[in-house]
């Protein structure tokens, strides 16, 4: 049995072993050279390093530290290239171990793109494609072969590529074989597309997002993502918006993604929603790269989809609900806004564009014009003026309530929107929270589940109105232009809750009896006022005086029963 004492070159695990070895080695320098460690850890792709710095001195320091770190593991960094002659002179005149690229033709391959370090621009690599472009026959195999050679990871030419993607889908739907020669309109479209590829040689994309007159530190950098869809394709495009030192706003293209629509037919709003899914994923990706982004804005020209995104996912069908949940998890629904279709640059991803028009199309490379005009972008110029209606005030109140609740209970709200259980450590768990139709967080609490005491029998037994009554005085009321006081005798029915009011001049027993004689009842409930106690005695005395048998029979049948509530317990009078 033999055992290798060196790592074998070319085995399946070699790429992983290389990456793991580098990451393990550079961790030793994380504290000594933190910036160089961050550069090597995040910007090293297999054996290529692509990085930038704000100043020449910082770039020289980073490169020197990186060379020193890897040299300690017998890994020599070489063939350095840069877009600054001054930096190259610093490298050449220094005593460092930095080895520059002496055979550069100013066009370098960087992660599949072509970098021109003279004017610091990026382009599409067309060398292998143009060499045998005219030899391709009009077959499905050659269409795939040609489209695959256009490598565009950042989506610079997505409006141009979406045309060939749609053509490929059309070939599949027609059932054309791999080596079957197709004719007609499809052939003409493919040949025209191939002729336009040569124009992409003139495409130059600035590598640097920001011009020289901007200071990146502490700048209010915004991310704007536009999405759109049609019956053929859908996609999204992102821009960075920043303020220059001259006080003007500028934008820069960042990335775009496009997809052809599924063969299964979907409604246009659902396709728009799929475009918004791409937009939300772009936001998540870019926020992890650009740490200086302060605000994020997502734009769509579909009011239906915007209503879905800002609503509760539980109200929609599964297809819409699943995608709304993903969008709400990766972006803030408040950041979604409406823009008109003619101002939406993502519309180019749904219609396609020729290569010649794409190179000079300002809306594609910088977004709509209003995005650079003023700070109050996207505001309606035809907004109505005048007093707010009650519905508008209610909507505004609901809006700010949702904002406030989301600041304090964002985890709980997210769980409720996704029909998930609340975390065990949530303080709202015992209160059975739920979201109402307006998206407001509410709780049932103890008041919604408490056991209510049974009503007294006198409240639920059927009887004529004012058979069982409660009495009390209200006042005094001061009469205008006189010094007299007036009182109100309040008589309420225990069953129907009807109320009868009698105006009386004082609270004496005689006055009460005069007011009380207007009706006949079987039971009276009152507090322990002396007037009521004295009245009870008077009524009993009057009934006792009338000894006529008929009167006695009537009294025995209709005798008034007087009941007092507990002293110093006024709430008993609520019965």
Q: What pLDDT, on the 0 to 100 scale, is given for residue 530?
A: 64
Q: What pLDDT, on the 0 to 100 scale, is given for residue 363?
A: 92
Residues of the chain with pLDDT > 70, as a percent, come to 84
- How many whole angstroms separate alpha carbon 246 and alpha carbon 49? 34
Q: What pLDDT, on the 0 to 100 scale, is given for residue 473?
A: 78
What are the distances in angstroms from CA 263 to CA 130, 134, 166, 169, 179? 32, 31, 11, 8, 23
- The model's pLDDT over 285-316, given as tens digits with 9 standing for 90+, comes to 998 888 778 889 999 999 999 999 988 888 88
- The model's pLDDT over 518-553, given as tens digits with 9 standing for 90+, comes to 677 777 877 776 666 666 666 665 555 444 454 445
Q: What pLDDT, on the 0 to 100 scale, is given for residue 75?
A: 85
Q: Between these two residues, 150 and 527, which has the higher pLDDT value?
A: 150
- How many whole angstroms separate alpha carbon 144 and alpha carbon 158? 16
Q: What pLDDT, on the 0 to 100 scale, is given for residue 447?
A: 60
Q: Between these two residues, 159 and 55, which has the higher pLDDT value?
A: 159
Average pLDDT over residues 414-420: 85
- Top mean-pLDDT range of 350-364, 378-392, 549-563: 350-364
Residues 543/545/550/556 CA torsion (nearest 10 deg): 30
- Top mean-pLDDT range of 89-103, 330-344, 415-429: 330-344
Q: What are phi and psi of 100, to 5 degrees?
A: -85, 165
Q: Which residues contact 364 (CB under 8 A, 6 or more apart)?
A: 159, 237, 253, 345, 348, 353, 358
Q: What pLDDT, on the 0 to 100 scale, is given for residue 533?
A: 65
Q: If you write DSSP's letter for every residue of 169-199 in order, what string do you get?
A: HHHHHHT--TTPBP-THHHHHHHHHHHHGGG
Average pLDDT over residues 269-285: 95
pLDDT surpassing 80 at residue 249: yes
Range with lowest mean pLDDT among 21-30, 57-66, 93-102: 93-102
What are the distances in angstroms from CA 127 to CA 132, 237, 260? 9, 27, 27
Rounded to the nearest integer, the mean pLDDT of the chain is 82
Q: Between these two residues, 471 and 192, which has the higher pLDDT value?
A: 192
pLDDT surpassing 90 at residue 148: no
User: Residue 235 — pLDDT band, cuts 50, 70, 90?
Assistant: very high
User: Residue 555 — pLDDT band, cuts 50, 70, 90?
Assistant: very low
Average pLDDT over residues 55-81: 85
Average pLDDT over residues 404-413: 84
Q: What pLDDT, on the 0 to 100 scale, is given for residue 548?
A: 45
- How many whole angstroms separate alpha carbon 286 and alpha carbon 87? 29
Q: What pLDDT, on the 0 to 100 scale, is given for residue 542?
A: 52
Q: What pLDDT, on the 0 to 100 scale, is given for residue 464?
A: 81
User: Residue 357 — pLDDT band, cuts 50, 70, 90?
Assistant: very high
Q: Between these two residues, 268 and 218, which has the higher pLDDT value?
A: 268
Q: What pLDDT, on the 0 to 100 scale, is given for residue 551?
A: 44
Q: What pLDDT, on the 0 to 100 scale, is given for residue 12?
A: 86
Place of tokens 């850890």: 41
Q: What pLDDT, on the 0 to 100 scale, is given for residue 283?
A: 95
Tokens of 309: 């995104």
Instruction: Give the pairing of strands 523-526 and 468-478.
Output: parallel
* pTM metric for this prediction: 0.65
Residue 498, helix vs strand vs coil: coil
């Amino acid at each position: 049995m033999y055992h290798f004492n060196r790592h074998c070159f070319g085995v399946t695990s070699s790429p992983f072993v290389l990456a793991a070895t580098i990451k393990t080695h550079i961790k030793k320098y994380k504290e000594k050279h933190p910036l160089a460690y961050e550069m090597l850890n995040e910007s090293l792709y297999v054996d290529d390093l692509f990085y930038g710095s704000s100043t020449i001195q910082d770039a020289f320091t980073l490169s020197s530290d990186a060379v020193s770190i890897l040299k300690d593991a017998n890994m020599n960094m070489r063939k350095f290239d840069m877009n600054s002659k001054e930096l190259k002179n610093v490298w050449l005149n220094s005593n460092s171990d930095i080895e520059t690229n002496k055979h550069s033709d100013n066009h370098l391959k960087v992660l599949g793109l072509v970098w021109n370090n003279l004017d610091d621009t990026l382009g599409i690599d067309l060398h292998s494609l143009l060499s045998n472009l005219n030899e391709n026959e009009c077959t499905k195999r050659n269409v795939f072969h040609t489209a695959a050679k256009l490598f565009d990871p950042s989506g610079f030419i997505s409006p141009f590529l979406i045309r060939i993607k749609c053509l490929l889908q059309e070939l599949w739907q027609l059932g054309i074989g791999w080596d079957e020669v197709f004719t007609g309109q499809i052939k003409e479209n493919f040949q025209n597309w191939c002729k336009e590829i040569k124009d992409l040689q003139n495409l130059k994309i600035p590598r640097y997002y920001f011009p020289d007159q901007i200071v990146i530190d502490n700048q209010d950098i915004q991310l704007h993502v536009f999405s759109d869809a049609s019956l053929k394709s859908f996609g999204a495009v992102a821009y960075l918006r920043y303020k220059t030192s001259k006080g003007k706003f500028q934008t820069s293209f960042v990335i775009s993604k496009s997809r052809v629509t599924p063969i299964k037919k979907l409604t246009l709003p659902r396709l728009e929603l799929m475009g918004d899914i791409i937009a939300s994923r772009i936001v998540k990706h870019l926020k992890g790269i650009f740490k200086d982004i302060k605000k994020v804005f997502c734009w769509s020209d579909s009011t239906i989809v915007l209503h879905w995104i800002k609503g509760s996912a539980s109200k929609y069908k599964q297809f819409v609900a699943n995608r709304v949940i993903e969008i709400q998890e990766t972006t803030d629904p408040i950041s979604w806004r409406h823009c008109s279709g003619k101002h939406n640059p993502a519309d180019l991803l749904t219609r396609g564009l020729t290569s010649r028009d794409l190179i000079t199309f300002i809306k594609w490379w910088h977004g709509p014009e209003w995005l650079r005009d003023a700070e109050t972008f996207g505001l309606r110029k035809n907004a109505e003026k005048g007093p707010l209606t009650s519905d508008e005030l209610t909507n505004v109140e609901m809006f700010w309530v949702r904002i406030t609740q989301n600041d304090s209970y964002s985890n709980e709200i997210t769980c409720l929107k996704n029909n998930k259980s609340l975390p065990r450590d949530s303080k709202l768990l015992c209160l059975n929270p739920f979201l109402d139709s307006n998206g407001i967080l509410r709780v049932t609490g103890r008041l919604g589940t408490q056991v209510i005491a049974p009503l007294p029998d006198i409240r639920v037994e059927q009887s004529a109105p004012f058979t069982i009554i409660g009495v009390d005085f209200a006042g005094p009321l001061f009469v205008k232009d006189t010094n007299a006081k007036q009182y109100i005798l309040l008589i309420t029915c225990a069953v129907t809750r009807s109320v009868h009011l009698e105006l009386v001049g004082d609270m004496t027993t005689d006055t009460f009896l005069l007011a009380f004689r207007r009706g006949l009842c079987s039971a009276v409930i009152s507090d322990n006022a002396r007037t009521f106690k004295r009245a009870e005695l008077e009524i009993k005395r009057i009934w006792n005086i009338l000894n006529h048998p008929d009167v006695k029979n009537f009294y025995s049948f209709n005798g008034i029963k007087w009941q007092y509530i507990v002293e110093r317990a006024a709430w008993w009078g609520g019965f």
